[in-house]
Each structure stands twice: as C-alpha cells, then as structure tokens.
Amino acid sequence: MRKIIVALALFALTGWAIYDTLSKNVAFSVEDGGKSEGQIAEGIEVGNRAPDFALRALNGEEVRLSDFRGKRVIVNMWATWCPPCRAEMPDMQKFYERYKDEGVEIVAVNLTQSERQPEHVGRFIQEYGITFTVLLDEKGEVYRQYQAQAIPTSYLIDSKGIIRKKMIGPMSYDWLVDQMESIQ
C-alpha cells in the first residue's frame, strides 16, 4: 500500500511539474559578453561550456557530447512516457532532417532509469522514425549532472560547446528554426 501511495505522489508531482512547465514554456538565453574561450566556466547555465558526458547509444556504441564539437547541438532530456516529449519528437525529427547537413545535431538523452520497460525506447524510436542520436541515461547520471527539473528540457549548444539557450518544455519546429539560426 505504501508503494502505491508513493507512486501516486510521484506521478502527481511529475504531472504538476509538466503542467507548470507547459503553462510557462520557459526559455533562457544570454550572450557571452565577449569572453575568451579560456574565461568560460564549465557548467549548466546559459553562457557556460556544456559539461561533457558519455552514454551508450541504442546500438551499444559509447557516444560523448564532445564528439559533436564544431557542430551546433541540441541536447534533449526525454522519456517515452512523457506526453510533451512525445509531442515534440515529430518536430525535432523534421528539424533534424532539414538541418543535419548544415552542422546541426540532436542528442536525445533518454532517461532510461525512469522507463518502466527500457526496451520500449527502441520501439519508440522506430515508431516515430527517429534518425538523430539517441543515448541511454541508464543511471540518471546526465539528468543529475544537468539538473533537469522537468522533462523535456533541452540545451542549445553552439559549435564551441557553449550553452546558448535552455528550454524547459516542448520545442516546436518553428521555435527550433528561429533559435538555431541565431546560434553559430
């Protein structure tokens, strides 16, 4: 009985966080103020150098965020059970298909530790026709490292590895186009 109450409480809190986030659809951005690369601190705030991480992809290959240095990258934290995450995936795929040849990558970090059945991730990717990079955060390490408080949470990172925007809530195709065109 206690497990059921805890599960319901967690479900309610997650639902509230998603509702609260969606009602605000928060995005943060800032310019670096002319700082040289050596002056930019590593961290998770806009203007910081994005912390590197390594996770396993669906094919078993280890992928690091730093593998994409030189490209503009969207790091998206998501889960298959999250309705806003599901809603943004078609727009993310459409955006990726349009911009992948222009130095843009999407790194979708699945919060695998929160999935009831982790094998659903592969089915989800097939069902939605996802062709961008999907990584499995099986222990929640990247989720904790980036201190994502709600999902989806996305970080738009420039070609030098600097976080330029942080989006809490689902992204639309038009929003992605507008934001990424302002990021080099």
Among residues 82, 130, 135, 136, the one annotated as catalytic is: 82
Pick left, alpha or beta for residue 141 (phi over 0 → left; psi -120 to 50 → alpha; otherwise beta): alpha
85 is catalytic: no
Q: Do residues 183 and 72 lie in contact, with contact meaning Cβ atoms separated by under 8 Å?
A: yes
C-alpha 127/C-alpha 139 separation (Å) is: 25
What does the angle CA 20 – CA 28 – CA 152 come to, to the nearest 5 degrees? Answer: 45
3-state secondary structure of 123: helix
Nearest alpha-carbon partner for 114 in 147, 82, 89:
82
C-alpha 122/C-alpha 45 separation (Å) is: 31
Q: Do residues 184 and 164 lie in contact, with contact meaning Cβ atoms separated by under 8 Å?
A: no
Q: How far is CA 107 from CA 66, 127, 130, 174, in A?
A: 11, 18, 11, 19
Catalytic residues: 82
